[in-house]
Structure 1
Amino acid sequence: MEKLNQTLEKIQGLNQQAMEEARNRIDHLIKPQKSLGKLEDIAVQLSGITGKLHPKLDSKAIIVMAADNGVCEEGISAAPQAVTKLMTGYIANGVSGVCALAAQARAQVITVDIGVAGDLEDSKILHKKIRHGTGNIAKGPAMSREEAIKAIEVGIEIAEQEIKNGRNLLGTGEMGIGNTTPSTAILAVMSGTDPEEITGVGANLPKQQLDNKIAVIHRAIEINKPDKNDGIDVLAKIGGLDIAGMAGVMLAGAANRVPVVVDGYISTAAAIIAVAIEPKVRDYLICSHASEEKGAAKASAFMSFEPMLNLDMRLGEGTGAALAFNIIEAAAFMSEKMITFQEAGIGVV
């Protein structure tokens, strides 16, 4: 709990002066005002986060949290739970979807075993296991409050180490069969939405099994009675270890004034938890894409996120964050590399 408290104490609001300077410069670049749309807003936000007119975003990493979910016992996923362990190894060895897209974005992928059900001995994986998967939330809590805090602190510690190593742009990713179920449970509780409205098929669950998934989420909420006014309570009772780790990354980014790119649906659930713990974190997050998962639009709206990409994606792993890195870096280049009308010698327009 000490690490979490220390991190929360460091989180401050955006640097308003830096944002004003950035907006003023962008408004006077050699182009019509607002003509580069959201790129301009991203550049201003980056200045607010970093306190710099021209922040550098030349060292990028996606931190992928891997964990299993005990609720898979309820038949809520098409893929067997063993796939989590297999895919975690593939991600660590650079051959999964996020690895391909991160390579194009010149970003490192950091693979973390925070709760895979089984032992992983690959030296390319960071071994930070809290427990071998969560409990079955349809029967009881996912984890204890102490375990939830430890998992958040794992995310904080890894993000802090990456920042110390020079990372100036972070992305969140995850791997965990069944993790759309705790994500939907979190969204349902925090937004006050009926699970039936937001429960999707996840990793290709047959539609005839969707009613069971909805019933499982209802049961998890009824049995555990999470307190929506306590983000850690919600996380511990109906969340996931991967969600906890990603929330920790977001908290650490905010505490260290480093932007964090939110991937898709599961990452947005983590953002909901992080912002519930400390509302100022919201300003340090950049939403990458509009996931195709059914509850994703509701989750983004609940967080007041405006996804920058809509590519019908729903893979997770951090793939959307990897693609967004290119656009975010472009926003920084726009602000720094373009000249103003005054610098061009044609007066201020």
Structure 2
Amino acid sequence: MFSVSPLSAQFESDILTIINSKTKPLGALGQLEDLAKQLVNVKSQSNGVLVTNPTISHPHMLVFAGDHGIAEYGVSIAPSAVTGQMVANFASGGAAINVFSRQLGWQLDVIDAGILTATDNDAICNQRLGAGTKAFHLESAMSLADVKLGFSLAKKLVEEKHKNGCDLIAFGEMGIGNTSSASAIMSAVMNIPAVESVGKGTGIDQATFIKKQQLIQQALDFHQVPSNQALEILAAYGGFEIVQICGAMLAAAELNIPIVVDGFICTAAAMIAKLIQPNVQDYFIFAHCSGEQGHEKMLQWFNAKPLLQLELRLGEGTGAALTLPLMQSALAFYNDMASFTQANVENVVSEKE
């Protein structure tokens, strides 16, 4: 369904020459230089020509929501009803992701991927795969057909955004119980026990934490899906929102759109996307390291260095949203900062080399 090409290396030398000619010591802008290199390279892929004056003009944030059967077994501080309540909050503009999107200039869309109760609110995009997943410690969360349908719906949505000018995409999520799903996915992909992947989510107490670990280990022992079987892992443990985020990531990479990866749940989706199409990581920009205990291990699996370290654990895409000014700054210095020649400044660094 997806074909993701690796980033071409043909532009790397020219991009580095431009970055290194700016009036600064080599590497002095740190991660912003790496970010500029990646963004310019991704944006140069579509036409096969090094893009001049690259910008971000139409950033899109897609927040997918879904409910989880395992939530009914006491793994969260909140009941599943909160998922639908928060989706209504998104629709009315009252959540953190709404605030940050308005502040920073993201175009925000909220997608019902499968919450318990459907809504007729026109502000919510309906891409329902069902009324929540099944309890994955007792049976598969969904069927392989559900996974494939979720991919198809996500791909169509991203293609629509691309036609409307989307040049940067990020994903958020909402779903009571989805840290359980993400932990199970992490354990399955990395072949590690639940004790190494399960965190406290939104802040559960110790007794609930132990129960959560036990249920997820029960699920891992029950399904025993091989670590390289991406679709089967999603079917066994995934959430409807995680499936669609994964599909949307693959679709965005296929269209040469830079992808901002948010926290723990979105990184679980990114792990599956990489199993399906390894080249997808070339398009990933990792936003932050979540307060969820397994997220740092996920980032190590990718050998990724996130842009922010703010101890966020809210989800919704909030960490990804906050990185937009950094990406704009990376392109601003690339486009507008004078070179040593333009500024008549002696290039001491080059002369010493």
Same fold (TM over 0.5): yes
Q: Could you tell me which residue of structure 1 aligns to residue 16 of structure 2?
A: 23
CA–CA distance in 2 between the matches of 1:84 and 1:150? 22
Paired residue secondary structure (1:292):
coil
State the Cα distance separating 1:73 from its structure 2 match.
Answer: 2.0
Paired residue secondary structure (1:342):
helix
Q: Could you tell me which residue of structure 1 aligns to residue 231 of structure 2?
A: 232
For the 8 Å contact 1:290–1:311, the answer to whether it is kept is yes
Amino acid of the structure 2 residue aligned with 1:249: A
Q: Could you tell me which residue of structure 2 aligns to residue 311 of structure 1?
A: 310
1:130-279, aligned counterparts within 5 Å? 130-279=129-278
For the 8 Å contact 2:23–2:345, the answer to whether it is kept is no
Q: Could you tell me which residue of structure 2 aligns to residue 48 of structure 1?
A: 41
Q: Could you tell me which residue of structure 1 aligns to residue 6 of structure 2?
A: 13
Amino acid of the structure 2 residue aligned with 1:257: N
CA–CA distance in 2 between the matches of 1:173 and 1:260? 12
State the Cα distance separating 1:93 from its structure 2 match.
Answer: 2.1
CA–CA distance in 1 between the matches of 2:223 and 2:275? 18
Paired residue secondary structure (1:305):
coil
Q: Could you tell me which residue of structure 1 aligns to residue 110 of structure 2?
A: 111
Paired residue secondary structure (1:158):
helix
**Stretch of structure 1 that moved more, 191-200 or 281-290:** 191-200
Paired residue secondary structure (1:118):
coil
> Deviation per CA, 1:140-162, whole angstroms, max 9, x where unpaired?
10100110111122222211111
State the Cα distance separating 1:287 from its structure 2 match.
Answer: 0.4
State the Cα distance separating 1:302 from its structure 2 match.
Answer: 1.0
CA–CA distance in 2 between the matches of 1:244 and 1:21? 37
State the Cα distance separating 1:21 from its structure 2 match.
Answer: 1.4
> Deviation per CA, 1:60-107, whole angstroms, max 9, x where unpaired?
111000000011122111100000001011112211011111111111
**Stretch of structure 1 that moved more, 338-347 or 228-237:** 338-347
CA–CA distance in 1 between the matches of 2:274 and 2:92? 32
State the Cα distance separating 1:211 from its structure 2 match.
Answer: 1.0
Q: Could you tell me which residue of structure 1 aligns to residue 29 of structure 2?
A: 36
Q: Could you tell me which residue of structure 2 aligns to residue 62 of structure 1?
A: 61
Q: Percent identity?
A: 32
Amino acid of the structure 1 residue aligned with 2:43: T
Q: Does 1:95 align with 2:94?
A: yes
Q: Could you tell me which residue of structure 1 aligns to residue 81 of structure 2?
A: 82
State the Cα distance separating 1:47 from its structure 2 match.
Answer: 1.7
> Could you say what the CA RMSD is over the residues aligned between the two structures, in angstroms?
1.2
State the Cα distance separating 1:346 from its structure 2 match.
Answer: 4.3
State the Cα distance separating 1:53 from its structure 2 match.
Answer: 4.7
State the Cα distance separating 1:19 from its structure 2 match.
Answer: 2.6
For the 8 Å contact 1:117–1:133, the answer to whether it is kept is yes
TM-score of the superposition, structure 1-length normalised?
0.95
CA–CA distance in 2 between the matches of 1:251 and 1:56? 22
CA–CA distance in 2 between the matches of 1:178 and 1:345? 59
Uncovered stretches (5+) of structure 2, i.e. residues with no partner: 45-50
CA–CA distance in 2 between the matches of 1:229 and 1:343? 52
State the Cα distance separating 1:310 from its structure 2 match.
Answer: 0.7
State the Cα distance separating 1:15 from its structure 2 match.
Answer: 2.7
CA–CA distance in 2 between the matches of 1:163 and 1:194? 39
CA–CA distance in 2 between the matches of 1:200 and 1:346? 52
Q: Does 1:333 align with 2:326?
A: no
CA–CA distance in 1 between the matches of 2:341 and 2:235? 55
For the 8 Å contact 1:22–1:44, the answer to whether it is kept is yes
Paired residue secondary structure (1:112):
strand
> Deviation per CA, 1:244-283, whole angstroms, max 9, x where unpaired?
1111121111111110101100000010011111000011
Paired residue secondary structure (2:10):
helix
State the Cα distance separating 1:23 from its structure 2 match.
Answer: 1.1
Runs of 4+ aligned residues of structure 1 deviating over 3 Å after TM superposition are: 345-349
Paired residue secondary structure (2:340):
coil
TM-score of the superposition, structure 2-length normalised?
0.94
For the 8 Å contact 1:18–1:53, the answer to whether it is kept is no
> Deviation per CA, 1:205-255, whole angstroms, max 9, x where unpaired?
112211110011011111122221121110111111111111112111111
CA–CA distance in 2 between the matches of 1:157 and 1:347? 52
**Stretch of structure 1 that moved more, 50-59 or 326-335:** 50-59
Amino acid of the structure 2 residue aligned with 1:120: T
CA–CA distance in 1 between the matches of 2:192 and 2:54? 39
For the 8 Å contact 1:198–1:295, the answer to whether it is kept is yes
Q: Could you tell me which residue of structure 2 aligns to residue 282 of structure 1?
A: 281
